Structure 1
């Protein structure tokens, strides 16, 4: 009787060990497949990051911060690039507060009750900047030339402008 109990215990233990082995193997393989999926996603995301970094570098090509010649010119005049950009933006946005809209925009507002104002500015170098403007319905872009007077006064000159047609 004792030997039968040991035999049943041995068989039960063997079945338990086989069950644990199969279960562990299945869990291990599922984790391995999941890990491989994550590795593929990481590679995909790394590729996306590389594409975005290249795109960001391309966009930064025409900015004051990445033009060494323009930065040298500005520094010789005694300005810091970040402070100068902030000063230019502030000056242009202050012009938006005028009753008729920004006087640098060569188009009159066409939407009722609207006024042409500058929305976004990108300083290209130590002489030029590009802006977009709108009146709530119509919009366009400006290329401006700016100079800094001896007393630190900013002067703007419209080089060219464009008003996009509506559909």
Structure 2
């Protein structure tokens, strides 16, 4: 009789313990499924935001790329050459930057930091001397000698915030 009661208590204990473990696992699985669904929504929103942010970018502008391909250019090399042409302007002598129409107001030189090629004609870039920041809008073209020609169209410098 004692063996039967002991066995019944042991079976009831194992049943309750196993049920609690299974319930905990189910709760964990549900919470992970909820978290995964939220993360997937976040990823989807970030992908949409990334698409919107890259809209004005030559890498996503098939018409601009087709323009260069039709003229026989390797677009990857050309895009790198366009950017390098602007970055190479950072190596200048004196106070006047070759394309930025401002003079540094610190001991540092004005340098072009970031370049975004919008399409087969337009570029937006920012510049700084380490303390003051600004942006320039540039047009570019490739002449008959395959030389890049840059033309400053618009520019501004942010006022220094105290």
Shorter-chain TM-score category? over 0.9
Distance 1:43 1:36 in 2: 11
Task: Write 1 or 2 for the structure with the bigger share of helix.
Answer: 1
For 1:80 and 1:30, how far apart are their aligned partners in 2? 59
Superposition deviation, residue 80 in structure 1: 2.5
Unpaired runs of 5+ residues, structure 2, are none
C-alpha deviation, 1:102, in angstroms: 3.5
Aligned 8 A contact 1:144 1:159 in 2: yes
Match of 1:109 in 2: 104
The runs of at least 4 aligned residues of structure 1 exceeding 6 Å deviation read: none
Q: What count of residue pairs does the alignment treat as equivalent?
A: 160
Alpha carbons 2:113, 2:128 under 8 Å: kept: yes
Map residues 1-167 of structure 1 onto 2, 5 A cutoff.
7-99=1-93, 100=95, 102-111=97-106, 113-167=107-161
Residues 95-118 of structure 1: per-residue CA shift (max 9 Å, x gap): 10113363111110011x111110
RMSD: 1.2
Task: Quote the offset at 1:153 in angstroms.
Answer: 1.0
Larger Rg, first or second structure (1 or 2):
1
TM-fit CA distance, 1:68: 2.2
Q: TM-score, normalised by structure 2?
A: 0.94
Cα distance change on mapping 1:101 and 1:86 into 2, 3 Å: farther
